[in-house]
Amino acid sequence: MTSPHEGPQEAPIVPPPPGTIADTFREVLPDVEFTATQGTGDVILIIGRADVPRVLQLAKDDPRLDLKYLRCLLGIDHMEAGIEVVYQLYSFTHKHGVTIKTRLPADDLHVASAAPVWKGADWLERETAEMFGIVFDGHPNPVPLLLPEDMTDHHPLRKDNPFAQVEEWQGSRLGPEAAKLGHIPAGYESIAGESGEESSE
Amino acid sequence: MQTLLNNYAAVLLAVGIGVGMVLAALVAARILAPFSPSSAKSTSYECGMLPIGRVRVQMNVRYYLYAILFLVFDAEAVFLFPWAISLVGVGKAAFFEMVLFLSVLAGGLIYAWKKGALEWR
Amino acid sequence: MTGREREAERLRPVEVQRPRALYREVLPGVIQAPADFLLAMARKSSIWPMTFGLACCAIEMMSAYMSHHDLDRFGIVPWASPRQADVMIVAGTVTKKMGPSVKLLYEQMPNPKWVLAMGSCATNGGPYTRYDRVVQGVDKLIPVDVYVPGCPPRPEALIEGLVCLQEKIMRDRGSIG
């Protein structure tokens, strides 16, 4: 595994073996561009963001796929390379699951909402929107879910958030251990400095 | 007349002791407990949030209907019993007065009936 | 103001009041000492906590109230409203979204009041240490009198914390107010 201070890495594309759900997807939607890769558990399909509403609707409705259960909806921050929105789907009838990913460019974080397809996506998308700053077009109730209602400008799960503010409030210092991480946010170098007498561990 | 008033002296004493106990409790609380009102302390309690919505919500009419039914059946019975016992010796006017009383309460009964207070829901 | 600045405004610590009861000015000193003693004895023998169970420590607090580790034998009766409560047992994680509610409920309690921070989340953030969205200990918002460590503390530990609070009430009887 790569260590965290080498910077964000992209996962390698490993083509899945034949006979998996990727082939069923290609049958159902022959005109959509897929990149299929084998993840640790599921097959991961990477699609373009314009295809998202069609693919999700057909994934739920088509009887060969029958992916009626949206397990999870989350985001992954790749900083300059954009933010990925991940949909994890499962079918109880066919006992197969798939992960669908779509990459949003960092300056235009809009994607179609999955709430019309699955009711459960309503809250999952509210959480992903407030944590990353993604706007889900067509969402029925786009207010923050877990954060305070008036905090629409702070997105905690983005990688460039300074977590070290907590240390300042507590009055403690990170110490030289933090220097090895390689990811001290700008302006906080002072607390990662060589204060050797006190380590926060 | 004097004995009638003397009987009520005991009632006055009871009322005085009751009022005195309440006042003593309030005075003792003011003296013995720390008194520190603040603006946050006097906000209405709404589980830690600031109150949403108005306090004076409109009272539901069904409570008023129960009060009317109580008047019609219970208070009326209280007046009917002594009237029934003493009717013979009092005279004709008492009969018509009671008819008037009953008709007023019958009006209340009709109102409650129309509002559905007599339905078993 | 940004959202984070507004939130930091909302999370300022409360102003601590130190009120004095009227009898300290009115009664002569020689009567104050037994009055203090009696009042402290009464207050410590019937602590009514405002149960503020926020997370897992709430389960241990409930278990302390129930019949196996009975708290009623100490006179400790759970009281959900802040208006008649003496002590506020902060049992669980205080998130930054919950912070203003904790402050308002503390201010709505009448004096004399105490706070017992139960568990490590209320003491100093606990397992969520250095995490941005959790207040690192409830003593950043309200003044705490007793800290009960543990994650979660056993009901016996909470009982010991409440007995410590009783001893504190008795010890500080001259300055309660």
Q: Domain extents for chain A?
A: 4-137, 162-201
What is the architecture, at CATH level 2, of domain A4-137?
2-Layer Sandwich (3.30)
Inter-chain touch C132–A151, beta carbons under 8 Å = no
Contact residues, chain C to chain B, C-beta under 8 Å: 17, 19-23, 26, 35, 39, 81-83, 98, 100-102, 104-105, 107-112, 176-177
Calculate mean pLDDT across residues B52-71: 77
Above 70 in pLDDT, residue A186? no
Give CA–CA dist B40/C54, Å, rounded: 22
**In angstroms, what separates the C-alpha of C94 from chain B's closest C-alpha?**
13
* Radius of gyration of chain C, Cα coordinates, nearest whole angstrom: 17
Split at pLDDT 50, 70, 90, the class of A135 is very high
Q: Does A177 score more than 60 pLDDT?
A: no
Q: What pLDDT sits at residue A153? A: 83
Q: Do chains C and B touch (3 or more CB pairs under 8 A)?
A: yes
Task: Report pTM.
Answer: 0.74
Looking at the complex, report in whole angstroms how far the Cα of residue C65 sits from the nearest Cα belonging to chain A.
Answer: 31
C72: DSSP letter: G
Cα separation of B110 and B88, whole Å? 30
Residue A162's pLDDT band (cuts 50, 70, 90): low
Share of chain A above pLDDT 70, in %: 76
Q: Evaluate if residue A1 carries a pLDDT over 50.
A: no
Phi, psi (degrees; rounded to nearest 5) at A169: -65, -40
Domain boundaries, chain B: 2-114
Cα–Cα distance list, A82 to A55, A77, A105, B107 (Å): 21, 7, 4, 76
For the residues A131-136, what does the mean pLDDT come to? 92
CB contact under 8 A, B40 and C17: no
Structural class in CATH, domain C47-171: alpha beta
pLDDT at B32: 86
Could C102 and B35 be called an inter-chain contact, meaning their C-beta atoms sit closer than 8 Å? no
Q: Which residue has the higher pLDDT, C148 or A149?
A: C148
Burial class (CB in 10 A: 0-12, 13-18, 19+), B69: middle
Q: What is the pLDDT of residue C95?
A: 92
Examine the pLDDT at B64 and tell me if it is beyond 90: no
Entry field: residues in chain B: 121
* pLDDT above 80: residue A181: no
CA distance A94 to A91: 6
Q: Which residues of C touch B27 (CB under 8 A)?
A: none
Q: Which chain A residues are within 8 Å of C132, Cβ to Cβ?
A: 156, 161, 163, 165-166
Query: Can you tell me the mean pLDDT for C141-154?
Result: 93
Dump pLDDT digits (tens) for C67-88: 999 999 999 999 888 989 999 9
**In whole numbers, what is the pLDDT of chain B averaged over residues?**
85
pLDDT at A172 over 60: no
pLDDT at B109 over 50: yes
Q: Which H or E run contains C119?
A: helix C119-124
What does the pLDDT average to over B14-20? 96
Higher pLDDT residue, A17 or C138? Answer: C138
Position of tokens 């930054």?
C96
- 3-class DSSP string for A103-169: EECCCCCEEECCCCCCCCHHHHHHHHHHHHCCEEECCCCCCCCCCCCCCCCCCCCCCCCCCCHHHHH
With contact defined as beta carbons under 8 Å apart, do C109 and C72 qualify? Answer: no
Going by DSSP bridges, is the β-strand pair C146-148/C114-118 parallel, antiparallel, or unpaired?
A: parallel
Does the pLDDT value for residue C1 go beyond 80?
no
| A62 has pLDDT over 50 | yes
Smallest CA–CA distance, residue B15 to chain C, in Å, is: 28
The predicted model gives C27-41 an average pLDDT of 86
Minimum mean pLDDT range among A4-13, A36-45, C57-66, C168-177: A4-13
CB atoms within 10 A of CB A56: 24
Given a cut of 70, is residue A198 above it in pLDDT?
A: no
Above 90 in pLDDT, residue A73? Answer: yes
pLDDT at residue B80 greater than cutoff 70? yes
| pLDDT (average), residues C93-109 | 91
Q: Give the tens place of pLDDT for each residue, A106-132.
A: 898 999 999 999 999 999 999 999 999
Q: How far is C12 from chain B, CA to nearest CA, in Å?
A: 14
Chain B partners (3+ C-beta pairs within 8 A): C
Please identify which residue in the block is written with the tokens 């950043």. C140
Look at residue C32 and tell me whether its pLDDT is greater than 80.
yes
Residues C158, C78: Cα–Cα separation, whole Å: 14
Say if domain B2-114 classifies as CATH 3.30.70.
no
Question: Which has the minimum average pLDDT: A2-11, B99-108, C30-39?
Answer: A2-11
Residue A166, pLDDT score: 47
Whether residue A169 and residue C97 make contact (CB cut-off 8 A), yes or no, is no
Compute the average pLDDT of residues B57-61. Answer: 73
Per-range mean pLDDT, top range of A20-24, A184-188, B94-98, C161-165: C161-165
More confident residue, A197 or B10: B10
Say which range, A65-74, A177-186, C19-28, has the weakest mean pLDDT.
A177-186
